[in-house]
């Protein structure tokens, strides 16, 4: 543990003393539920280095108590901590400096907080790299092996190279404990660490924890609190806290608590005096079993004397370093889950087949452009749907891991950026190219071939020559893994091989078909990235609720579909004005504008919407708007992740965001700059479009052209050139 003193950092492992005063936790109380007092006026004190068991019936409030101690600020009361005070009293309010103190506390919840797709080795290495920024990789691995050895894992244990999800529940719990011990936390909380362990393993773990605690380790070990239902090992603990029906009923040594609770039982509920401890505990738990009606009470806050606050700053890590580690971990988690990657690529493959209904000459000049418009809209909608549905659960499904690591100093910007970077490649790039390749775009087909062969080569070579995989997998398993790589790259290779048609694109000098296709690919790539970032934003908004994430993402997709189809209809002035106001909020709207502009739809179609104007300035403005959508969704996603922090108020989170002046103002300035320049380029293009007239002599439209004027400034010439239409004369057909 590092504590800042002046300009230096002093390493210390002194255990933390804990004092809980009149703590109450009330949940509910909204429009559709009445408040429930999960904890009521709980007070107790824990000496530094002690080994404390928190026991009680199911539903008594034990886990809620732990959450109030580590990352969820209680409704009433306070949690006081002290470290290295000697004989003096120096308690501080934990939630006065939550980000500092929570980084010092190790917490292992009931649920697994490691990525299940990673191997044990990969999971612990990445946690070590994140939480021990000043240590070398070799030193971190030495610490990992030391912690694992104390928990029954040898350095060459074959389980270290197995996925976390393949371990038994007891083994996963031990690995989670090892992860928390990497930083030698001065306060360690374990929620039911002995659950699902056999009696021998349970006894060994309790002995190991007792020996780890500071009172048995010359005062240098942590203070340890555990929630347990295994009462046979309570004699290993120096202190016991008994909670029932949201209240603390007894606190003291195991013998004192057992005697006090025995005396509190009615005479007819007491077992015989000579009964063994198990029978007495069974009678106590049966008498104090949870009754939900006891939680329907009004909790009144208790007035507490003020505590002098000490401003503490926690150790901050470098953004780029965290991004590299998080991207590596996310890459390995998805790389180990080949089925997930395959599902994404096959989704793009299936979506691409829906576009085969359009004939190859759909984007060439025709008297009726409705089919071309419909094809463009359908292509953009499918791009957005593939991106949104393949990314809308990427945060909610692992939210408990995020919030756990956020308390340890994880940067939400680095966290979200690592996901966007990986998804932008697999969804934004691969899936979009598959869709366009099946649609019949030549460059997209060749890119699919290149990426497909590259991905297949990486998968095959890594499977055949990775020493860890050779030790972990049999020959048959490695062969099956190679086959899996072939299956997941088949959509990319198939998109190249299935040349069912070749879309013919218009040629408008000086823009050739290659430039047209590149502009279409760029537009849909930006639209896909903006859509998946928006889906990540909805995932961040719902926390760990996967079903709610799907509902929100579905709503966003439906709104985008409606806005896209609105481009195909005219409607009444009132109807048109409403959609003109709402359309800029939809990614599909700008995707349609960019695609239509790229294929010069304005030049040959019966134009009734300006957004099809195909000047280069208009196309750049579309890209700016898609980039602005992406940045706005990313910024909102980071803010929503910050709002999920339950150890502080939303007002403090907002102030913390605003106090990062450089980051905040740079972000706002970028959005304003994109908005202003995009709007300027659109207005310039609209001004040039208004100069279009029909030339009877030539039998076609004439468009404004920029003539070299000596007095014109270079910037004026550039703006004029990119704002004028690329269309030539459009003769009647």
Any idea which of 15-24, 29-38, 427-436 has the lowest mean pLDDT?
29-38
Q: What is the pLDDT of residue 311?
A: 79
DSSP code, position 253: S
| Secondary structure of 395-446 as H, E, C letters | CHHHHHHHHHHHCCCCCHHHHHHHHHHHHHHHHHHHHHHHHHHHHCCHHHHH
Looking at every residue in the chain, the average pLDDT score rounds to: 85
The C-alpha torsion from 614 through 617 and 619 to 621, rounded to 10°, is -140
Q: Residue range 508-525: average pLDDT?
A: 84
In this prediction, residue 633 has a pLDDT band, given cuts at 50, 70 and 90, of: very high
Q: What is the pLDDT of residue 248?
A: 94
Sheet hosting strand 730-731, strand order edge to edge: 693-695, 700-702, 730-731
Q: Residue range 216-231: average pLDDT?
A: 84
Q: CA-to-CA distance for 97 and 384, rounded, in angstroms?
A: 42
Query: 134-184, pLDDT tens digit by residue?
Result: 899 999 999 999 999 888 888 888 888 889 999 988 889 999 999 999 999
Query: 50-89, pLDDT tens digit by residue?
Result: 999 999 999 899 999 999 999 899 999 999 999 877 655 6
H-helix or E-strand containing 730? strand 730-731
Q: Residue range 204-213: average pLDDT?
A: 88
Rg of the chain over Cα atoms, rounded to whole angstroms, equals: 32
Q: What is the pLDDT of residue 382?
A: 93
The residues pairing with 26 across neighbouring beta strands, listed in sequence order, are 37
Contact 564, 380 (CB under 8 A): yes
Ordered by start, the domain boundaries in the chain are 15-104+185-288, 122-182, 370-375+383-405+514-723
Q: What is the pLDDT of residue 730?
A: 46
Which residue has better confidence, 72 or 603? 72
Q: What is the pLDDT of residue 180?
A: 94
In this prediction, residue 618 has a pLDDT band, given cuts at 50, 70 and 90, of: confident
Closest CA to 134 of 1, 327, 320, 330: 1
Half-sphere exposure of 335 (CA within 13 A, CB side): 17
H-helix or E-strand containing 41? strand 36-46
The token pair at 479 is 């062969």
pTM for this prediction? 0.89
Res 202 pLDDT > 50? yes
Q: Which residues have a Cβ under 8 Å from the Cβ of 82 and sit 6 or more positions away?
A: 16, 17, 19, 48, 89, 90, 91, 92
The residues pairing with 209 across neighbouring beta strands, listed in sequence order, are none
Q: Which residues have a Cβ under 8 Å from the Cβ of 163 and sit 6 or more positions away?
A: 116, 117, 118, 119, 336
The residues pairing with 83 across neighbouring beta strands, listed in sequence order, are 16
Q: CA-to-CA distance for 364 and 506, rounded, in angstroms?
A: 6
In this prediction, residue 520 has a pLDDT band, given cuts at 50, 70 and 90, of: very high
Q: Characterize 133-159 residue by residue with b for buried, 16 or more Cβ atoms within 10 angstroms of its Cβ, and e for exposed.
A: beeeeeebbebbbebbebbebeeeeeb
Half-sphere exposure of 570 (CA within 13 A, CB side): 5
Q: What is the pLDDT of residue 7?
A: 36
Query: What percent of the chain is predicted at pLDDT more than 90?
Result: 43
Query: 533-578, pLDDT tens digit by residue?
Result: 999 999 999 988 899 999 999 999 999 888 888 767 666 667 767 7
Start-to-end CA span in the chain (Å): 79
Kindly give the interhelix angle for 432-439 and 475-497, rounded to the nearest 10 degrees: 50
Please, is 73 exposed, middle or buried when counting C-beta atoms within 10 Å of its C-beta (0-12, 13-18, 19+)? Answer: middle
Q: CA-to-CA distance for 173 and 165, rounded, in angstroms?
A: 11
**Which single residue is written with the structure tokens 């019936």?**
57
CA 446, 448, 451, 452 torsion-angle sign: negative
In degrees, rounded to 5, the angle at the alpha carbon of residue 548 between the alpha carbons of residues 542 and 554 is 110
In this prediction, residue 502 has a pLDDT band, given cuts at 50, 70 and 90, of: confident
**Which single residue is written with the structure tokens 């800029």?**
584
Query: 640-696, pLDDT tens digit by residue?
Result: 999 888 888 778 887 777 777 677 788 888 899 998 988 888 888 878 777 777 777
**Which single residue is written with the structure tokens 């308690």?**
91
* 15-104+185-288 CATH, one of 3.90.280.10, 3.55.10.10, 3.40.50.300, 1.10.645.10: 3.40.50.300
Q: What is the pLDDT of residue 250?
A: 93
């Amino acid at each position: 543990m590092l504590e800042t003193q002046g300009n230096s950092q002093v390493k210390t492992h002194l255990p933390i003393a804990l004092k809980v005063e009149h703590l109450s936790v009330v949940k509910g109380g909204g429009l559709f539920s009445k408040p429930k007092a999960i904890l009521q006026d709980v007070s107790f004190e824990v000496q530094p280095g002690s080994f404390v068991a928190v026991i009680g019936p199911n539903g008594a409030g034990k886990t809620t108590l732990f959450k109030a101690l580590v990352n969820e600020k209680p409704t009433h009361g306070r949690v006081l901590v002290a470290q290295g005070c000697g004989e003096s009293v120096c308690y501080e309010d934990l939630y006065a400096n939550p980000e500092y103190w929570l980084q010092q506390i190790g917490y292992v919840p009931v649920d697994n907080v490691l990525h299940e797709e990673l191997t044990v080795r990969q999971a612990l290495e990445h946690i070590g790299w994140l939480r021990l920024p000043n240590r070398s990789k070799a030193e971190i691995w030495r610490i990992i092996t030391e912690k694992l050895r104390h928990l029954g894992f040898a350095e060459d244990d074959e389980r270290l190279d197995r996925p976390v999800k393949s371990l038994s529940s007891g083994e996963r719990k031990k690995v989670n404990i090892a992860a928390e011990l990497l930083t030698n936390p001065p306060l360690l909380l374990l929620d039911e660490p002995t659950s699902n362990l056999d009696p021998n393993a349970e006894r060994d773990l309790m002995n190991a924890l007792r020996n780890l605690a500071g009172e048995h380790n010359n005062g240098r070990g942590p203070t340890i609190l555990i929630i347990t239902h295994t009462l046979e090992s309570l004699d290993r603990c120096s202190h016991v806290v008994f909670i029932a029906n949201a209240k603390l009923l007894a606190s003291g040594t195991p013998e004192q608590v057992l005697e006090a609770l025995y005396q509190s039982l009615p005479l007819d509920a007491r077992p015989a005096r000579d009964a063994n401890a198990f029978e007495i505990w069974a009678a106590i738990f049966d008498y104090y079993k949870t009754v939900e009606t006891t939680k329907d009470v009004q909790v009144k806050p208790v007035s507490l004397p003020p505590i002098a606050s000490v401003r503490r700053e926690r150790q901050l890590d470098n953004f780029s370093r965290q991004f590299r580690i998080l991207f590596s971990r996310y890459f390995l988690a998805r790389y180990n889950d080949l089925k997930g990657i395959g599902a994404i690529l096959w989704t793009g493959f299936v979506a691409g087949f829906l576009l085969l209904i359009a004939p190859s000459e759909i984007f060439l000049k025709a008297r009726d452009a409705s089919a071309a418009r419909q094809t463009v809209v359908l292509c953009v909608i499918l791009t957005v749907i593939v991106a949104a549905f393949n990314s809308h659960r990427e945060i909610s499904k692992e939210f408990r891991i995020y919030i756990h690591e956020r308390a340890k100093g994880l940067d939400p910007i680095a966290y979200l950026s690592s996901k966007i970077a990986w998804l932008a490649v697999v969804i934004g790039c691969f899936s979009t190219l598959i869709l366009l390749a099946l649609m019949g775009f030549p460059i997209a087909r060749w890119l699919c071939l290149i990426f497909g062969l590259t991905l297949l080569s990486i998968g095959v070579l890594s499977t055949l020559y990775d020493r860890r995989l050779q030790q972990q997998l049999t020959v048959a398993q490695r062969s099956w893994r190679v086959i899996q790589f072939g299956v997941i790259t088949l959509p990319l290779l198939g998109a190249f091989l299935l040349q069912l048609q070749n879309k013919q694109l218009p040629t408008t000098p000086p823009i050739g078909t290659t430039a047209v296709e590149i502009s279409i690919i760029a537009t849909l790539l930006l639209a896909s990235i903006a859509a998946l970032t928006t889906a990540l934003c909805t995932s961040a908004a719902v926390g760990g609720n996967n079903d709610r994430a799907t509902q929100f993402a579905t709503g966003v997709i439906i709104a985008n579909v409606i806005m896209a189809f609105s481009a195909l209809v005219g409607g009444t002035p009132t109807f048109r004005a409403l959609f003109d106001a709402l359309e800029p909020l939809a990614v599909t709207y700008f995707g349609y504008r960019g695609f239509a502009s790229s294929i010069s739809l304005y030049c040959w179609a019966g134009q009734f919407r300006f957004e099809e104007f195909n000047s280069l300035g208009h196309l750049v403005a579309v890209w700016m708007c898609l980039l602005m959508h992406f940045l706005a969704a990313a910024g909102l996603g980071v803010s929503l992740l910050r709002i999920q922090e339950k150890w502080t108020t939303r007002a403090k989170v907002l102030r913390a965001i605003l106090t990062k002046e450089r980051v905040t103002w740079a972000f706002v300035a970028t959005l304003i700059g994109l908005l202003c320049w995009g709007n300027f380029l659109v207005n310039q293009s609209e001004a040039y479009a208004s100069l279009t007239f029909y030339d009877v002599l030539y039998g076609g439209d004439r468009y404004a052209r920029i003539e070299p004027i000596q007095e014109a400034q270079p910037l004026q010439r550039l703006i004029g050139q990119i704002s004028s239409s690329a269309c030539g004369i459009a003769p009647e057909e």
